């Protein structure tokens, strides 16, 4: 058994063994599907889970241009190439680094048995934070091929009776469109945050109202004024901390409230100072 290199792979492809490509201008440049010891497979049909079979992306109407995966979303993809692996050849493969570094998980890479016929299929999941667009013709799967010492006794097609593999309805039906339920969780979190903000804003408004009334009472006696100033100062400190957790609009409104409280505290202090001056006289 030996790993096949570029010239051997080109010969197999040109003789329509393993798979078939439109002849590139140069089989040995960087854009060739045949690389030094591998063959690149490309994105063909794209299927979107949880969609009507006849809608675009459904099993009867696959996408053949592109599809954007949001964070947590899945797609079922078929290779553009159709394989016809000889009984003395086996392969194995893995997703390209260009997908892996973007957080794209391929769930079922692995080996390819002698006698396998048809398209390879894969489930892709966007595990990254950012949307990722997959396009027809992009590299999907990099394969390595080995020459066996002899033909296998019974190859894949004989053992399974499967002569043409590819995407099937049951393959797509088992998938959830949103693997991590990101969209629904985000919507629930947004609703909860909005409700919390409304309650919090109402509480602040009520607190400001109470403080406004309390200022009038604070003017009655010097000792009461001092106590009220302490309470107002503590409340103001709490509000200043809360500012860090709110958006810019709420920040502006709260700053106005805090400035108002500061002004009222200044008036109370002035009243106390004047009252103390009169008592000294």
One DSSP character per residue, the chain reads: -EE--HHHHHHHHHTTSB---PPPS-TTSTTSSEETTEEEEEEEEEE-SSS-TTSTTBTTB-BSSEEEEPTTBEEEEEEEEEEE--TTEEEEEE--HHHHTTTEEES---EE-TT-EEEEEEEEEE-SSS-EEEETTSEEEEEEEEE-SS--SS-HHHHH--SSB---HHHHHT--SBTT-HHHHHHHHHHHHHHHHHHHHHHHHHHHHHHHHHHHHHTS-HHHHHHHHHHHHHHHHHHHHHHTTS-HHHHHHHHHHHHHHHHHHHHHHHHHHHHHHHHH-
User: pLDDT digit string (tens) for 208-267?
Assistant: 555 555 545 444 555 666 666 777 776 666 666 565 555 556 666 677 777 777 777 777
Q: Are 98 and 140 within 8 A, CB to CB?
A: no
Q: What is the pLDDT of residue 251?
A: 61
- The two tokens of residue 147 are 């020459």
Burial tier of 263 (Cβ tally within 10 Å: 0-12, 13-18, 19+)? exposed
Torsional sign, CA 105, 108, 111, 117: negative
Low-confidence ranges of the chain (pLDDT < 50): 186, 215, 217-219
Q: Is 109 exposed, middle or buried (0-12, 13-18, 19+ CB in 10 A)?
A: middle
For 2-179, give the CATH class.
mainly beta
Measured distance CA(93)–CA(142) in Å, rounded: 5
Q: For residue 239, which of 212, 257, 213, 252 has the smallest C-alpha distance?
A: 257
Which token pair is 190? 């947004």
Q: Which of 237, 48, 42 is nearest to 124 (CA)?
A: 48
Q: Pick from 45, 160, 167, 168: which is nearest to 114 by CA?
A: 160
Q: Which residue has the tokens 């390819």?
A: 112
pLDDT, residue 218, reads 42
**Domain edges within the chain:** 2-179, 183-280
Total Cβ atoms within 10 A of residue 114: 20
Radius of gyration of the chain (CA): 35
- Residue-level pLDDT at 172: 86
Q: How far apart are CA 235 and CA 218, in angstroms?
A: 15
């Amino acid at each position: 058994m030996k790993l096949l290199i570029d010239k051997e792979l080109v010969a197999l492809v040109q003789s329509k063994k393993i798979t078939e490509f439109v002849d590139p201008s140069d089989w040995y440049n960087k854009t060739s599907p045949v690389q030094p010891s591998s063959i690149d497979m490309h994105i063909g049909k794209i299927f979107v889970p949880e969609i009507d079979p006849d809608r675009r992306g459904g099993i009867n109407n696959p996408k053949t241009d592109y599809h954007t995966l949001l964070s947590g979303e899945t797609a079922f993809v078929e290779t553009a190439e159709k394989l016809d692996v000889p009984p003395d050849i086996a392969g194995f493969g893995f997703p390209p680094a260009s997908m892996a570094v973007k957080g794209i998980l391929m769930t079922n890479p692995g080996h390819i048995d002698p006698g396998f016929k048809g398209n390879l299929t894969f489930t892709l999941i966007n595990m990254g934070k950012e949307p990722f667009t997959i396009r027809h013709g992009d590299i999907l799967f990099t394969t390595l091929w080995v020459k066996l010492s002899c033909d296998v006794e019974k190859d894949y097609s004989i053992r399974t009776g499967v002569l043409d593999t590819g995407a099937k309805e049951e393959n797509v039906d088992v998938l959830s469109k949103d693997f991590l339920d990101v969209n629904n969780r985000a919507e629930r979190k947004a609703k909860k945050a909005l409700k919390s903000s409304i309650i919090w804003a109402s509480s602040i408004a009520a607190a400001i109202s109470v403080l406004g009334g309390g200022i009038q009472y604070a003017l009655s006696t010097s000792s009461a004024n001092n106590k009220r100033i302490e309470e107002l100062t503590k409340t103001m400190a709490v509000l200043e901390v809360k500012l860090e957790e709110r958006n810019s609009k709420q920040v502006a409104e709260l700053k106005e409230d805090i400035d108002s409280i500061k002004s009222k505290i200044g008036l109370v202090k002035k009243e106390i100072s004047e009252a103390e001056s009169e008592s000294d006289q």
